[in-house]
Structure 1
């Protein structure tokens, strides 16, 4: 009975959060729960402060219907993005309003796990202090990283591009804070954010592509995330786009990432430009400079044209394999390409995809911006709250874990 009650609370709370504000009548209609069950469970959630009233709407001949929403200040969540050039940590309320942000630059492309843990935990303390909330009000910390994440309990990260082999990142973080920790792949967190709040809303079969320094994808089928046997599904960037092609950072040859990831694009430009690199103080500035020079440099124009072609071929593979209704292009370099070349990208995809599944897909840009990975990481503790029916989870410190 307790499990059923928690399950029903979870169903109600998830509908309120994802579709709200909703009235009790709408909740009964959407969940198929009886009016009495909805009334009793909503009463509990109101008494506990998880849900609050949010105005009313007119009904057909009766009293106005009170609308309900998840209370934004019931608790707070923190999302951290471990990128290749920075660690970004943000604190949100439950309406996903950003209340505080800190960013720490990373000087090395292969940071030691201990350095990442230090930045994440320092950022956690800083955003909590800056926002003026107590540690007890923080429901959880979600961390997004590159690579394969095995978990969710005591998540272990395998990230060849970072030089990480079976790093127990979840345990390393959990040993130093009593705030609940969850770790996931950055493409998956971007995908969850876009499916909940952005360009993926309303789609049941979609792919959210992250194109930055590296390349990945979140796969959604039947409204649920597809992760494979051990959570490594979605490593789209390491599918082979050219047999015997360029060496990827993962060590394999011809990976898509070696041709459309920002690092690979800039390397291809440098090779084609007699060894002269693109101008810019860092990777993002250099990539932007490359795009800006398309009108004046034939080499830049050719490299960008080829990049759109490779990316279109990669999208066509997704279309032919998964038959999605929507492909969402995100990631910082993906957004830069999409701003300027989305029509060309659609044409390149059409040239490589089967006609019928291509006719059924729309290709759109990420709506939440370049920092959506951290927001997606923050939705990890929100999802746990929804699944637990509104009951927060706390942990106690454990012995420190070290990277292997």
Structure 2
């Protein structure tokens, strides 16, 4: 039965369960008494919800709290926490240099991981699907977790992700993916049961969600999170886009008629500021990146040349290229600052973290110079806190967030629906 708001009793119960689970997850352990003020629920509702969650194996007792340790005094109170092993998630980072697959318990403790290095421009769709499929099987086997125990698989990918009747489709122009039905391919080739959902999203968005939940974005209302790898991308989190919004920021034009970008256009920010472009510009300027190495190793060599350890003499070419990259990135950030006025900008991704605090100081200098005074004075620029695993952790939060929204209930099995006859007929007519 639905009330005047349109919400049914089932909706209310699910919302109450979700509220309790979230508070125990992010703020726990907590007692029943402290959950009331934290969730806005009555003591009776708290008792009912906790009893359900305990019966479902999602919540357990975790010691007691004594008078003075919580706002209210009195006799010791039993603490509650989320049961770590009551669910498992997999996070996948489809990166530029490798595919990383990690298995987590419900509290995001890593249980197993697998990595698949990418050779050259290793973005072949069949190869990528195989890497993800075998990586999932590897981490499940290593941890002794059955596929049916998963609450979901989250995957961060480069490019734009569209939702269709058959699942997530990836439009990754820079990697040669044109409307790749990644979810359907994984379902048809993998061995996960239909009860395990896939959550596929842009890698910058998964990075942003991880930093907002557990990293340098906590407590902020407006944050731009930068994914700086072979290319560059961004995620914007605001009070009207709380889940984060992926931006194809790397394809903002910074030089009319400029360098050719991987996407095919001229003058994109990514053609100047991504690690791939940075190394290419070093080579064009006369630098000598090490041969037959991956981008991470080559970038390490560039930084060592620009800023040698032990006070050695820097390579002026390498130093100039790094400084120019900081200016391009700062100019690109000025667009985000002027348009969205974030209170924080966080730089993550393997290249951003490798370039480090010194590079970031130069980026900030240029970002301020290219921005309007008012928004520039009210924002900070810093590095992400979660390290190279941030995209993978963020990918795992996608099924976790859905699990919480369902009040700790698992998703319904995905059923493959037949293509309607009229659609098949039209398709046949169009190709005849």
Q: CA RMSD in A?
A: 2.0
Q: Is the 8 A contact 2:97 2:294 kept in 1?
A: no
Flag the 1:54–1:319 CA change in 2: closer, same or farther, 3 A: farther
1:110 deviates by 4.9
The equivalent residue for 1:103 is: 115
Q: Is the 8 A contact 1:248 1:257 kept in 2?
A: yes
Q: Is the 8 A contact 1:152 1:183 kept in 2?
A: no
User: Counterpart of 1:320 in 2: which secondary structure?
Assistant: helix
The equivalent residue for 2:148 is: 136
The equivalent residue for 2:429 is: none
The equivalent residue for 2:289 is: 278
What is the TM-score normalised by the length of structure 2? 0.87
1:343 deviates by 2.2
The equivalent residue for 2:270 is: 257
The equivalent residue for 1:302 is: 320
CA deviation string 1:200-256 (max 9, x = no partner): 1111211111000011111101170343xxxxx411111112222111111111111
Larger RCO (CA under 8 A, 6+ residues apart)? 1
User: Residue 244 of structure 1: which of 250, 257, 270 is its match?
Assistant: 257
Q: Is the 8 A contact 1:256 1:310 kept in 2?
A: yes
Which ranges of structure 1 fall in alignment gaps of 5 or more residues?
Answer: 228-232
Q: How does 1:9-48 map to 2 (within 5 A)?
A: 9-48=17-56
The structure having more radius of gyration, on CA atoms, is 2
The equivalent residue for 2:375 is: 357
User: Residue 207 of structure 1: which of 199, 202, 224 is its match?
Assistant: 224
User: Residue 218 of structure 1: which of 235, 239, 260 is its match?
Assistant: 235
Q: How many residues align structurally?
A: 394
4+ residue stretches of structure 1 with deviation over 3 A? 396-401
Flag the 1:376–1:383 CA change in 2: closer, same or farther, 3 A: same
1:360 deviates by 1.5
Q: How does 1:363-382 map to 2 (within 5 A)?
A: 363-382=381-400
The equivalent residue for 2:73 is: 61
User: Counterpart of 2:409 in 1: which secondary structure?
Assistant: coil
The equivalent residue for 1:230 is: none
Q: How does 1:260-339 map to 2 (within 5 A)?
A: 260-273=273-286, 276-279=287-290, 281-295=293-307, 296-339=314-357
Distance 1:374 1:48 in 2: 28
Q: Is the 8 A contact 1:51 1:70 kept in 2?
A: yes
1:397 deviates by 7.2
Q: Is the 8 A contact 1:218 1:225 kept in 2?
A: no
The equivalent residue for 1:119 is: 131
Q: Is the 8 A contact 1:194 1:366 kept in 2?
A: yes
1:58 deviates by 3.0
Q: Is the 8 A contact 1:152 1:182 kept in 2?
A: no
1:400 deviates by 12
Distance 1:387 1:103 in 2: 30
1:345 deviates by 2.2
Q: 1:348 and 2:373 equivalent?
A: no
Distance 1:152 1:216 in 2: 23
Flag the 1:37–1:370 CA change in 2: closer, same or farther, 3 A: same
User: Counterpart of 1:155 in 2: which secondary structure?
Assistant: strand
User: Counterpart of 1:371 in 2: which secondary structure?
Assistant: helix
User: Counterpart of 2:123 in 1: which secondary structure?
Assistant: coil
CA deviation string 1:126-182 (max 9, x = no partner): 100001222222211111110000128610000011111111101111233223211
Distance 2:395 2:96 in 1: 16
Q: 1:186 and 2:197 equivalent?
A: no
Q: Is the 8 A contact 1:266 1:277 kept in 2?
A: no
User: Residue 88 of structure 2: which of 76, 85, 90 is its match?
Assistant: 76
